[in-house]
Amino acid sequence: MDNIEKVLGILKGQGLDGIYITKEANVKYISGYPDELAYVVICPQGNYLITDSRFTELAEQYCPGFEVVNWHNYDRSIPKALESICMKAGIKKLGFEECFTTYDKYVEIHRLLSACQIEMTGTRNIVEELRYAKSEEEVANTRIACEIADKALEELVPYIKPGVTERELCARLEFSMKMHGAQDIGFETILISGTKTSLLHGKPGDKKVEEGDFVLVDYGAKYNGYISDTTRTFVVGHASDKQKEIYGMVKQGQEIGLQNMGPGIHAAKPDEEIRKVISKYEEYYYSGIGHGVGLDLHEEPFLGNYGTKIMQPGCVITMEPGIYIPGWGGVRIEDTVLITENGAETLTHFPKDLMIL
């Protein structure tokens, strides 16, 4: 059963005649559309992709089985294009992604559809549930993204030395990923040094790397829409005893986390086991130790003491414990991991032993 048939089955079970999909990753997943600014309607009478004149040729090329609707032909109004589709397809009860529809757009659509006696019903996670376990093709794309990322970091390492700025290192890394075939960077690169490494999502700036600094690099490549996610932490020049201690603790914690990933394991289990290893610095430990990654950087399952899901074969999830001490620095080690029928396979392979550069 393909993804559209699965969606139609869910709609039938919820008493809906169709669904209006607006989240970019969900549009790509269900239609194959590779760009931005497109919306999809799925219903038993047919499949429709709404976009504008800039993208209609692209949509026709990438979305066989979809009727491409140019909203510029409807007074440049997406709601009017949607109204036309609903009338043509006989939709009387339309689902919409309530988490990804702005209030002003909802009001405009609701006004038009209600005048035609068409009811709108908010939905959640219909497509996301299908995206939870990745197909072989999705995993293949993720593998390539991970390979690209590994190569790029390997090329960056010789440039990590005193006097170079975080921003320069970031630019080299991102350039290298694209030169190795990345469609784009997977997300905004975190490349920070010194005491800034205690910032979980710190931004690279004009700070120069100094002797004795930690350098934390959290980055990813995007390939065919699928994202890798890796973090490595280095020390420049020489490492203090405390740096070695905390790095070793995080490395051991990550190993324990990886050992507690697999089919049928609850998303909270790795955190429970990692806490036993990092107990000395638990107050500086962040419990968000992993997340699903695919067309979105952050998707289910989320690993941590708040996790609610069960890992399944085909899930692609990060494992990224860290210790972050304000005013001193931090360490994070992260891999992208595939859940298999028998356990877990690490897809990112850059070495994890402490590297003193």
The dotted CATH code for 136-346 is: 3.90.230.10
Angle 231-233-238 from CA coordinates, rounded to 5°: 170
Contacts 24+ apart (CB under 8 A), 98-103: 98/122, 98/123, 98/124, 99/23, 99/124, 100/22, 100/23, 100/26, 101/22
Question: Would the pLDDT of 284 be above 80?
Answer: yes
For residue range 311-324, what is the model confidence (pLDDT) as tens digits? 999 999 999 999 99
Q: Could you tell me which CATH class the domain 3-131 is placed in?
A: alpha beta
| CA-CA-CA-CA torsion sign (78, 83, 88, 92) | positive
Q: How confident is the model at residue 344 (pLDDT cuts 50, 70, 90)?
A: very high
Question: Would the pLDDT of 203 be above 70?
Answer: yes
Q: How confident is the model at residue 179 (pLDDT cuts 50, 70, 90)?
A: very high
- Select from 276, 204, 249 the least CA-distant residue to 354: 249
For residue range 2-19, what is the model confidence (pLDDT) as tens digits? 999 999 999 999 999 999
pLDDT of residue 239: 98
pLDDT of residue 328: 98
Tokens 């299908």 sit on residue: 130
pTM: 0.95
**Domains of the chain, residue spans:** 3-131, 136-346
Q: How confident is the model at residue 1 (pLDDT cuts 50, 70, 90)?
A: low
Q: How confident is the model at residue 52 (pLDDT cuts 50, 70, 90)?
A: very high
For residue range 250-265, what is the model confidence (pLDDT) as tens digits? 999 999 999 999 999 9
For residue range 216-253, what is the model confidence (pLDDT) as tens digits? 999 999 999 999 999 999 999 999 999 999 999 999 99
List of residues 6+ apart from 173 with CB closer than 8 A = 152, 153, 156, 189, 191, 217, 219
pLDDT of residue 169: 98
Question: Would the pLDDT of 292 be above 90?
Answer: yes
Question: Would the pLDDT of 32 be above 80?
Answer: yes
What is the C-alpha R_g of the chain?
23
Q: How confident is the model at residue 126 (pLDDT cuts 50, 70, 90)?
A: very high
Question: Would the pLDDT of 192 be above 70?
Answer: yes
